[in-house]
Structure 1
Amino acid sequence: MDKQELAAFLRSRRERITPAEVGLPAGPRRRTPGLRREEAAQLAFISAEYYTRLEQARGPRPSREVLAGLARALRLSDVERDHLHHLAGAPPGPPPGPSREVRQSILDLLRRLPQAAAFVTSATYEVIAWNDLAAALMEDFSALSRRDRNLVRRVFLGPHPHGRRLYGVAGDDTFARTAAKDLRATAARYPDDPEVAGLVSELLAGSEEFTRLWESHDVSTQRTLRKTFQHPLVGPVTVNCDALDITDLDQRVVIYTATPGSPSEEALRLLSVIGTQRMDVTG
Structure 2
Amino acid sequence: MDKHELGAFLRSRRERLRPQDVGFPTGPRRRTPGLRREELAVLAHISTEYYIRLEQGRAPRPSGDVLAAIASALRLTDAESDHLHVLAGTAPNRTRLHRRDVRPSILALLERLPHTAGIVTSAVFEVLAWNSLAATLMEDFTPLGPKDRNLARRVFLGASSTGGPLYGASDAAGFRLNVVTQLRVALARYPEDPVVNGLVDELHDGSADFVRLWERHDIQPPPTLTKTFRHPAVGEVTVDCDTLILADHDQCLVLYSASPGSPSAETLALLHVLGTEAGQYAP
How would you bin the TM-score normalised by the shorter chain? 0.5 to 0.7
TM-aligned CA deviation for residue 161 of structure 1: 9.8
Query: 1:190 corresponds to which residue?
Result: 190
Q: 2-side partners of 1:214 and 1:170: how far apart?
A: 22
> What pairs up with 1:159-198 in 2 under 5 angstroms?
159-160=159-160, 163-198=163-198
Q: 2-side partners of 1:140 and 1:280: how far apart?
A: 6
Q: 1:230 to 1:119 in 2, by over 3 A?
A: same
Query: 2:86 corresponds to which residue?
Result: none
Q: 1-side partners of 2:162 and 2:154: how far apart?
A: 14
TM-aligned CA deviation for residue 265 of structure 1: 1.1
Q: 1:229 to 1:162 in 2, by over 3 A?
A: farther
After the TM superposition, list the runs of 4 or more consecutive aligned residues in structure 1 that deviate by more than 6 angstroms.
none
The structure showing larger relative contact order (alpha-carbon pairs under 8 Å, at least 6 residues apart) is: 2
User: Within the alignment, does 1:255 sit opposite 2:255 as a pair?
Assistant: yes
Does the CA contact (< 8 Å) of 1:156 and 1:207 recur in 2?
Answer: yes
> What pairs up with 1:183-262 in 2 under 5 angstroms?
183-262=183-262
Question: Which amino acid is the alignment partner of residue 103 of structure 1?
Answer: R
Q: 2-side partners of 1:139 and 1:221: how far apart?
A: 26
Question: Which amino acid is the alignment partner of residue 173 of structure 2?
Answer: D
Query: 1:135 corresponds to which residue?
Result: 135
Does the CA contact (< 8 Å) of 1:167 and 1:230 recur in 2?
Answer: yes
Query: 1:277 corresponds to which residue?
Result: 277
TM-aligned CA deviation for residue 246 of structure 1: 0.7
Q: 1:155 to 1:247 in 2, by over 3 A?
A: same
Q: 1-side partners of 2:252 and 2:279: how far apart?
A: 31
Does the CA contact (< 8 Å) of 2:154 and 2:161 recur in 1?
Answer: no
Q: 1-side partners of 2:224 and 2:279: how far apart?
A: 30
TM-aligned CA deviation for residue 223 of structure 1: 1.3
Query: 1:23 corresponds to which residue?
Result: none
TM-aligned CA deviation for residue 279 of structure 1: 7.0
Q: What is the root-mean-square deviation of aligned Cα atoms in Å?
A: 2.1
Q: Which blocks of at least 5 consecutive residues in structure 2 are unaligned?
A: 1-92
Query: 1:86 corresponds to which residue?
Result: none
Question: Which amino acid is the alignment partner of residue 118 of structure 2?
Answer: A
> What pairs up with 1:89-100 in 2 under 5 angstroms?
94-100=94-100
Q: Which blocks of at least 5 consecutive residues in structure 1 are unaligned?
A: 1-92
Q: 1:116 to 1:217 in 2, by over 3 A?
A: same
Q: 2-side partners of 1:203 and 1:243: how far apart?
A: 24
Query: 1:103 corresponds to which residue?
Result: 103
Q: 2-side partners of 1:280 and 1:128: how far apart?
A: 18
Q: 2-side partners of 1:279 and 1:202: how far apart?
A: 31
Query: 1:112 corresponds to which residue?
Result: 112
Q: 2-side partners of 1:135 and 1:227: how far apart?
A: 16
Q: 1-side partners of 2:229 and 2:100: how far apart?
A: 27
Q: 1-side partners of 2:238 and 2:227: how far apart?
A: 6
Aligned length: 190
Q: 2-side partners of 1:250 and 1:262: how far apart?
A: 33
Q: 1-side partners of 2:232 and 2:205: how far apart?
A: 31
TM-aligned CA deviation for residue 270 of structure 1: 1.1
Q: 1:100 to 1:205 in 2, by over 3 A?
A: same
Secondary structure of 1:243's partner? Answer: strand
